[in-house]
């Protein structure tokens, strides 16, 4: 299916179309990077005229194209909306690598936007605008599957070089070399083969796969959003009964639809979120970091389970804990957030002891 879509996408840009579009391509396209003019070497007026006079080939599987040529052909680039976020630390490393090697040493893997849309993936351009099947010139939009950190590094580096009136570096792109694939699998394997994924990356993969398979993404999106300000382990624990989902669990779920459905299940999701929202009312400002520590959701669910063992209905136990969390107060929240381990006790144990003390006082006043 993907092979057919790719063939259809690239065939829409034959030699005649290239000639027509060349007249509409301004010099800014020839000097632009992926997003704003940052990824190609400067061209003299003579070189620009030579490019315009050259009959440009279409993007073809098995060949590597320079970004300057692709941009000159009218192509633009986008990304899968739920792909891993840009990590500026990684970008700095990529910039150092480009400088050390005096250029990009590996091309960017791209796929026509129409292929990703047919797979049910949400896309966006460099400005965050959605890319849909109604987007103009859709056949000329390429989605970066592997290499977005290198592409961003190239963009930032070339922007700096341009200001210094120095020669910029060229970038390169190519289509998948295989005929049959699905985009989520391609995304997973391309990235895990080049840079081992952590929990957040596998969470992104689960989101991509769930979206393609028509599985609810509400819970997965919530976990990813909360994990940005803490650990993915803590984010999972808040809506998973106090238990985290290991990297191994996420890897298995990425290829097992039933396991993925279990992880994405939203049966108690709305109620479970209330615990987080209640805690967030007390742990705010400098103490908000505690929300990203798994010790807090683990303690809360331990109390929830204990109350239920004592014959309290889950809804009643939830309401009790919500009231407790909302009433913790700023001073208690600050004290917990500033706790540090001692020679005799770990930080987690100190937090648990403090929460036990506060909860016991809370219950005694009921």
330-354 average pLDDT score: 94
The answer to whether 184 and 119 have CB atoms below 8 angstroms apart is: yes
Same domain, 68 and 190: yes
Measured distance CA(233)–CA(243) in Å, rounded? 8
Instruction: Say if residue 30's pLDDT is above 70.
Output: no
pTM (2 d.p.):
0.53
> Do 246 and 322 reside in the same domain of the chain?
no
Q: What is the mean pLDDT of residues 29-48?
A: 42
174 vs 188: CA distance, rounded Å: 17
Task: Residue count of the chain, please give it.
Answer: 366
Per-residue confidence (pLDDT) for residue 52, from 0 to 100: 44
| Banded pLDDT at 229 (limits 50, 70, 90) | confident
Looking at the fold, whether 288 and 188 belong to one and the same domain comes out as no
Same domain, 138 and 227: no
Q: Which helix (H) or strand (E) holds 8?
A: helix 2-11
Ranges of beta strands (E only) in the chain are 64-66, 76-80, 108-112, 123-125, 130-131, 141-146, 172-174
Q: Check whether 4 has a pLDDT greater than 50.
A: no
190 shares its domain with 217: no
CA distance 115 to 271: 37
**Weakest mean pLDDT among 13-22, 46-55, 73-82:** 13-22
Task: Name 222's Cβ contacts closer than 8 Å, sequence gap at least 6.
Answer: 235, 239, 269, 273
Q: Is the pLDDT at 254 greater than 90, yes or no?
A: no
Pair (36, 120) in one structural domain: yes
Whole-number Å distance between alpha carbons of 351 and 63 = 58
Residue finishing a domain among 215, 240, 264: 264
Q: What DSSP element (H or E) covers 220?
A: helix 218-227
Domain that holds residue 337: 269-364
Rounded to an integer, the average pLDDT of 238-259 is 88
Identify whether residues 120 and 182 lie together within a single domain: yes
Output Rg (C-alpha) for the chain, integer angstroms.
Answer: 26
Here the tokens at position 303 are: 């109390």
Q: Angle at CA 155, nearest 5°, toward 150 and 159? A: 145
Lowest mean pLDDT: which of 36-50, 59-73, 281-295?
Answer: 36-50
Query: pLDDT tens for residues 113-133?
Result: 999 998 888 899 888 899 999
Could you give the CA distance from residue 240 to residue 92 in angstroms, rounded to a whole number? 35
pLDDT band for 54, please (50, 70, 90 cuts): very low
Residues contacting 83, CB < 8 A, separation 6+: 148, 187, 204, 208
Q: Judge if 255 and 318 occupy the same domain.
A: no
pLDDT above 90: percentage of residues in the chain: 52
pLDDT band at 223 (very low <50, low <70, confident <90, very high): very high
Compute the distance between CA of residue 211 and CA of residue 213 in angstroms, rounded to an integer: 6
Of 249, 264, 279, which marks where a domain is finished?
264
**pLDDT attached to residue 159:** 94
Q: 22 and 57, same structural domain?
A: yes
Residue 141 has pLDDT above 90, yes or no: yes
Contact of 65 with 202, CB cutoff 8 Å: no
Rounded Cα distance, 40 and 29, in Å:
10
pLDDT at 91 over 60: yes
Q: Choose one of 173, 194, 215: the last residue of a domain.
A: 194
> Would you say residue 58 has pLDDT above 60?
yes
Tally of domains in the chain: 3
Residues 29 and 92 in one domain: yes
- How far apart (Å, rounded) are the C-alpha atoms in residues 130 and 84? 17
Confidence of residue 252 (pLDDT cuts 50, 70, 90): confident
Would you say 183 and 2 are in contact if contact means Cβ atoms under 8 Å apart?
yes
* Confidence category of residue 208, pLDDT binned at 50, 70, 90: confident
Q: What pLDDT score was predicted for residue 262?
A: 93
pLDDT band at 83 (very low <50, low <70, confident <90, very high): confident
pLDDT at 46 over 60: no
pLDDT value at residue 318: 94
């Amino acid at each position: 299916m993907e092979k057919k879509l790719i063939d259809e996408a690239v065939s829409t840009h034959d030699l005649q179309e290239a000639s027509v579009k060349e007249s509409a391509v301004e010099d800014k396209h020839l000097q632009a990077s992926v997003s704003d003019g940052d990824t190609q070497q400067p061209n003299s007026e003579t070189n620009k005229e030579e490019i315009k006079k050259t009959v440009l080939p279409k993007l073809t599987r098995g060949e590597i194209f320079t970004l300057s040529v692709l941009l000159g052909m009218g192509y633009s680039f986008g990304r899968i909306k739920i792909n891993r976020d840009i990590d500026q630390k990684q970008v700095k490393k990529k910039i150092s690598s480009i400088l050390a090697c005096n250029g990009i040493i590996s091309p960017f893997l791209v796929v026509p936007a129409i292929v990703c849309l047919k797979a049910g993936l949400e896309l966006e351009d460099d400005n965050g605008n959605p890319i849909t099947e109604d987007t103009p010139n859709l056949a000329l939009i390429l989605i970066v599957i592997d290499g977005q950190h290198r592409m961003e590094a190239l963009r930032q580096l070339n922007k700096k070089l341009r200001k210094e009136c120095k020669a910029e570096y060229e970038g390169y792109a190519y289509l998948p070399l295989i005929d049959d694939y699905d985009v989520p699998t391609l995304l997973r394997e391309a990235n895990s083969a080049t840079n081992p994924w952590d929990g957040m990356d596998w969470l992104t993969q689960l989101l991509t796969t769930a979206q393609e398979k028509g599985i609810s993404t509400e819970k997965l999106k919530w976990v990813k959003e909360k994990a940005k300000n803490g650990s993915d382990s803590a984010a999972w624990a808040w809506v998973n009964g106090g238990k985290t989902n290991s990297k191994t669990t996420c890897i298995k779920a990425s290829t097992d639809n039933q396991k993925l459905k279990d992880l994405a299940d939203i049966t108690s999701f709305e109620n479970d979120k209330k615990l987080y929202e209640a805690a967030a009312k007390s742990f705010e400002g400098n103490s908000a970091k505690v929300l990203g520590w798994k010790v807090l959701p683990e303690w809360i669910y331990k109390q929830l389970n204990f109350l239920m063992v004592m014959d309290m209905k889950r809804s009643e136990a939830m309401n009790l804990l919500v009231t407790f969390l909302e009433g913790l107060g700023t001073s208690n929240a600050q004290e917990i957030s500033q706790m540090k381990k001692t020679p005799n006790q770990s930080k987690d144990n100190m937090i648990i002891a403090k929460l036990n003390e506060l909860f016991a006082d809370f219950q005694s006043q009921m």
